[in-house]
Structure 1
């Protein structure tokens, strides 16, 4: 049975009954109206709960949950900002490599023979992709596509990709012929064609989490990001089985490492500095034990800030 509806005052009383300290109920009411009980409390209460009693840890204040919520929201904005840069650069490299190998005609990227059509899985994915991009061209939802159709009777790939999602763009990269994937991967030093696909997938999943307002500090992926030289240089230990690093392959820190390889040095430096300021502000404003626990959930080793000191190889 669904949980019963509670009005704002009842929500506050429920929180108090669970041991949460609410010094300013007027403030709590304002915040609940702004963020919503589900997003704020259900999304961020776990860090402050006693796992045995299911009540809040002694002395936990409502404001601490708000601090974590707002820290996570700031994380989402930051990671989204730089994932968009990664997306834009990939689209430029894909459009350039494909067009130089074929032509600027839309007939080329709508031709299944210009993709890696060797396996059944690839054939299914290529057919689906072409249906999707054909629909984008035909529906008339984008003025720049309509302009290209009306004035040139052709939509070049560099125009089309503005209307294609990040995930679809990564899929298009994965389905390219080996020669084109090689041309694109050369734009990302120290990543081969397969490793590039893996780190792009990591950033895509993170971008989608950010765009949908999902909790980010607990970000996890099912597939591990590949082992990279930075894992070793940061002295991140391997797990008990010795097959994965304990940090930086399935967590939010894996996205940081992916950014290191995908962004140019100036963009990554700006990202890292902004992230460092954000984390340090949260550490100043919250309890030390909570901040430490949150960083561990994020998969950040204690020396994570030294990442800018190391080369990628």
Structure 2
């Protein structure tokens, strides 16, 4: 069993050099190791750059500390983007669910929290069972914090859009899973374009699969997990995309692209494009690896998106809900007479 002992950033750098890593700026490396930690920075992101020689981890020829640190930064910025996108999506989902509940059962908590209004699907954890969810929501009603306390004392009513502000996203997602078919159909209408080519019969299942995938990524990001090469445990059940190679982060983007509300998708696409361009411009040897892991074609260029229906080019592939966008270099777009979209090029 290997002994675990405390080492200083200076000692850690000497170890990295003994493993064939190039450290160009030792002062910068020490600062990064001190701020981020050897385990977070090195152990979590070294796999693409190492091989085993005589039982010892060694870095491939030419690998620098700055290269590994750049991959760490790429993942950190993706993680921050996932957190921001999921918080945005959470607000949207809560408002949609509140609208469905209020329209079906009324705005008084004694009406919309009736057990009979929902299905009672079996859950491994009591807190996500129908009884557990209703119990959680009733406890939340007793808080002395606003806005719930204000509505309770001033109106005697706490409508669902107020109550849901204080309820965890995981509870809301599992609550939606307990909706009866009529309410699930209403949720689908909130979230998906009625002209979507996806068969309407699978939309409720696709909605739930998507929400559970998003919840998984949200929890991963909240706990500092590695994002860029994460493979989600939740698998799609009824919707099968013709491109079965979609997986990982690209699968999350696909699922978000089906929603009418595009803001979470745009947050993630912007972060992904920016980080891939930044990292791969500096370290083009990583293009193949990241392309395979993220399942995307990486071209290090200033890419914009165009369609056959407009002479505008866009910074984001799904700006304003455009479909079938094609990526081209911005210089090529300019030469063809395209001009920047006023929305995404403010």
User: Structure 1 143/228 Cα, relative in aligned 2: closer, same or farther at 3 Å?
Assistant: same
Could you give the per-residue CA deviations for residues 213-244 of structure 1, whole angstroms, max 9, x where no partner exists? 21101111123235757x43xxx3xxxxxxxx
Partners of 2:12 and 2:112 lie apart in 1 by 54
The correspondence for 1:281, drawn from 274, 278, 282, is 278
Find the counterpart in structure 1 of residue 4 from structure 2.
3
Gaps of 5+ in 2: 306-316, 326-346
Larger strand proportion of the pair: 2
In the alignment, the residues of structure 2 paired with residue 138 and residue 184 of structure 1 have an alpha-carbon distance, to the nearest angstrom, of 28
- Structure-2 residue corresponding to 1:296: 292
| Aligned length in residues | 294
Cα distance between partner residues in 1 of 2:94 and 2:18: 52
- Give the Å deviation of 1:92: 0.9
Q: TM-score, normalised by structure 2?
A: 0.76
Describe how 1:224-235 pairs up with structure 2 within 5 A: 224-226=235-237, 228=239, 231-232=241-242
5+ residue gaps in structure 1? Answer: 237-244
Q: Is 1:205 matched with 2:216? A: yes
1:46 corresponds in structure 2 to 47
Asked if the contact 2:88/2:263 (under 8 Å) is kept, the reply is no
Q: Deviation of residue 129 (structure 1)?
A: 1.2
Q: Is the 8 A contact 1:225 1:254 kept in 2?
A: no
Q: CA deviation at 1:277?
A: 2.8
Instruction: Give the aligned CA root-mean-square deviation in angstroms.
Output: 2.8
TM-score normalized by the length of structure 1: 0.84
* 1:262-277 equivalent positions in 2, closer than 5 A: 262-265=259-262, 268-269=265-266, 271-277=268-274
Per-residue CA deviations over 1:245-304 (Å, capped at 9, x if unaligned) read 1223xx11111011101253576456534432332222102132x23212322233569x
Task: Decide whether the 8 Å contact of 1:219 with 1:252 is kept in 2.
Answer: yes
Listed as ranges, the matches of 1:73-92 within 5 Å are: 73-92=76-95
Q: Contact conserved, 2:78 with 2:271, CA < 8 A, in 1?
A: no
Native 8 Å contact 2:77 2:271 kept in 1: no
